[in-house]
Chains A and B, each alone.
Chain A
Amino acid sequence: MPKLKTLWRKLTGYSLFFPLTCLAIVLIINLIKTPTFFHISINNGVLYGFIIDILNRSSELIILAVGMTLVVAGSGGTDISVGAVSAVAGAVTIFSLVGSMSSDIYRIPYGLAILLGLLGGMACGAFNGFLVAKLRIQPMVATLILFTAGRGIAQVITQGFILYVRKEQFKYLGNFIPGIPVPTPIFVAILVVAVTLLVLKKTALGLYIQTVGINAKSARLVGLNATLIIFLVYTFSGLCAGIAGMIITSRVYSIDANNAGLNMELDAILAVAIGGNSLGGGKFSLAGSIIGAITIQALTTSLYAMKVTADQLPVYKAIVVIFIVMLQSAELKRMLHSMLNKHSIRKAGRKVA
């Protein structure tokens, strides 16, 4: 028995235990509800199946969650502008490609347009970073500015139209490259995660971000440039939002400034929280956030599979979210623990009597 207990304690002590459990629960429920859930088939040379769909659809969220994790870790705040920033980045790219009319002719090379879009995202991120790092504005308020203005800016760029790019090549990034059976967004997500991990692990940057997040003042005292690190973290988040924006616009080969990346910021923050990261900053787990992002998408996809309409989806999502965060709540664990203890004490007392 005690061995089992220590094993249990070891398991639950593992930081990814709860995020993984949540994902497993969602997947198992799916398996029971839809037996064909894990079925993967090849149609027209591309992979099909729920799992592929979940991974494909969660790509943008994973990318946003990576940026969000660092923002949360480094500044103890959230970047609520990422959804709007993806719309801005998408608008910049498509506008520079086709101008203010839907068309199938590129005005400038595709690569350059992508670069411009990413730069747009980074500029937004840098603006946020400047406000948070240099002017010491609370992250949520600072990013509220672009949250409010971002879609307006995107509208100004597209002049209020929904712009289409009617060219096959433009769809590759968000769908499939001919001849490759795996959706392209998955590759992009893996690339972003790999590069981020490489930079964080190979340099001391990951450690620096944690240090700044735990205590910016003492980080400065030990010689870290806290301002620069926070600024970089927000710029990176803007870049991630830009990359996500590229995928979003490529999926539907158009930019709709009102709806591109709508509510993505909320899902990204949720992914970070479900991944077991404290929104108060400091220690972080990128893997947790990625698992969180996949969990959210798995939930969404499986609810769609259970014929829940898009409008009603949030109800179930809310219930699951509350359930998950309650599972992770240290306070609840303590309460339950003290309740159990009281019970056992009473039991012991009765035995003595």
Chain B
Amino acid sequence: MIRKLRDQLGANNFLLLITIVLFIAMYIAGIIVYRENNFGRFQVFLNLFISNAGLIVAAVGMTMVLITGGIDISVGSMVAMTCMLLAWMMENKKIGAIPAIIIVLLIGVIFGLVQGLLIAYLKIQPFIVTLAGMFFARGMTAVISTDIISIKNETFLKVANAKIYLPFGGYVNKKGVMIYPYIYPSVIIGIIVLIIIFYILKFTKFGRSIYAVGGNEQSALLMGLNVKRTKLKVYVLNGFLAALAGFVFCLNTSGGFVEQAKGFEMEAIAAAVIGGTLLTGGIGNVLGSLFGVLIKGTIETFITFQGTLSSWWTKIVIAALLCFFIILQSILASTKHKRLKST
């Protein structure tokens, strides 16, 4: 039956389906196990988005890069640099919030442009280029300041802490007052980015050529696609998204310090892989990456609700889950391979 389902959906959507089913199963398990701690409240679900808004943006960008067959490990450092720059500009240089945000987004674009040029036109391995990018951005963070700068800019904090109440999904508290769940603007940014990139990948010529380039560069070239320009555009867009992820991350943390967001890029890659993106390129879906992020968030929520488990267990559980997904993918891929052989 599973095989039939897979044949109907195609390996791509089948993996996405598994991810979604697993997420729902995990969540229901959480609701049952932690029913006394109100795990079932809608707010707990929304908190997954609130605490991972930055990661959603980064994972979406990462998915796009992975689909081209490349990789970008500079994202975590970019987030740190963006946070630090925002904090430094607003606190030490008294630049307004909006110009500061525009500046960091521009820097992200330039960063992506340089990396993209090196990768697409000079054909240097993406891993090495973005490794250098990672070193550079992390180092620049320290060059800007080695202090912990917290943001006190009013406009920025107003946006960061603006609670947007949803008109549904509330619960009645002990005093009999209806409490509605809320989200922050960061979540809205994350969702908008997700929708835009989903649209681009699915319905635009640029998006389809990303898949083509990742699937087989040679064929894409022979089809008359401009492979180099497509790659460049992807890295520029990803640079922008990395800076945006930094801004969204900063909305949550309201500050910058050198060691911030270490290992963020690996979380983004893990989310994409859990969501069914292949690192070899050509296959992937931003929706899957969203669920990858949500699964990681759910595990973290479990561990906070549990209370006694230490934070390093999060990493072990995430890794075990990653292992599970990867092995599942490989089994699926290999059965597909065998079927192709037999026909």
Contact = CB atoms under 8 A, between A and B. Distances in A.
Interface string A248-270: 00000000000000000010011
A314 B278 contact: no
A322 interface: yes
B178 interface: no
B297 to A, nearest CB: 15
A329 interface: yes
Interface stretch (B20-28, B128-136, B168-176, B244-252): B128-136
Contacts of B123: 329-331
A332 interface: yes
Contacts of B71: 140
Contacts of B329: 137
A314 B118 contact: no
Interface stretch (B37-45, B139-147, B285-293): B139-147
B241 interface: no
Given A144-B270, A146-B319, A152-B319, A318 B135 contact: yes
B280 interface: yes
B316 interface: yes
Contacts of B258: 311
Contacts of B140: 315
A332 B269 CA distance: 30
Interface in B108-161: 118, 121-125, 127-129, 131-136, 138-143, 146
Interface in B71-124: 71, 118, 121-124
Contacts of B46: none
A332 B140 CA distance: 27
A199 interface: no
B310 A160 contact: yes
A309 interface: yes
B305 interface: no
A343 interface: no
A120 to B, nearest CB: 16
Given A135-B330, A325-B128, A318 B136 contact: yes
Contacts of B124: 325-326, 329, 331
A78 interface: yes
Interface string B279-319: 11000000000000000000000000000001011111011
Interface stretch (B201-209, B216-224, B320-328): B320-328
B334 interface: yes
A149 B133 contact: no
B87 to A, nearest CB: 16
Interface in A308-347: 309, 311-319, 321-322, 325-326, 329-332, 335
B313 A144 contact: no
Contacts of B269: 144
Interface centre among A142, A315, A316, A326 (most CB of B within 10 A): A315
Contact of B128 (A145, A270, A312): A270
B261 interface: no
B320 A149 contact: yes
A107 interface: no
A156 B320 CA distance: 15
A325 B138 CA distance: 20
Nearest to A136: B330
Contact of B122 (A146, A148, A309, A329): A329
Contacts of B273: 141, 144
Contact of A279 (B128, B135, B136, B313): B128
A270 B132 CA distance: 9
A102 interface: no
B246 to A, nearest CB: 17
Given A144-B273, A149-B319, A314 B330 contact: no
B323 A152 contact: no
Contact of B322 (A140, A148, A270): A148
A332 B125 CA distance: 13
Nearest to A127: B323
B211 to A, nearest CB: 18
A131 B319 CA distance: 14
A155 interface: yes
A57 interface: no
Nearest to A274: B128
A317 B135 contact: yes
B136 A153 contact: no
Contacts of A330: 123
B266 interface: yes
A147 interface: yes
Contacts of B278: 138
Interface in A105-163: 131, 135-138, 140-142, 144-149, 151-153, 155-156, 160
A311 B259 CA distance: 9
Contacts of B323: 131, 145
A188 B326 CA distance: 36
A73 interface: no
Nearest to B115: A322
B316 A152 contact: yes
A321 B132 contact: yes
B269 to A, nearest CB: 7
Nearest to A322: B132
B125 A273 contact: yes
A318 B320 contact: no
A318 B316 contact: no
B312 A266 contact: no
A144 B135 contact: no
Nearest to A153: B316
A133 B131 CA distance: 26
A137 B327 CA distance: 8
Given A149-B315, A314-B134, 14 more contacts: A135-B330, A135-B334, A137-B329, A137-B330, A138-B280, A142-B326, A145-B326, A148-B319, A269-B128, A273-B125, A311-B142, A326-B122, A331-B121, A335-B122
10 contacts: A142-B326, A147-B266, A148-B266, A155-B312, A156-B312, A309-B142, A312-B139, A314-B135, A315-B143, A325-B124
Closest 10 CB pairs of A and B: A311-B142, A315-B139, A149-B319, A314-B139, A318-B136, A314-B135, A318-B135, A152-B315, A152-B312, A148-B319
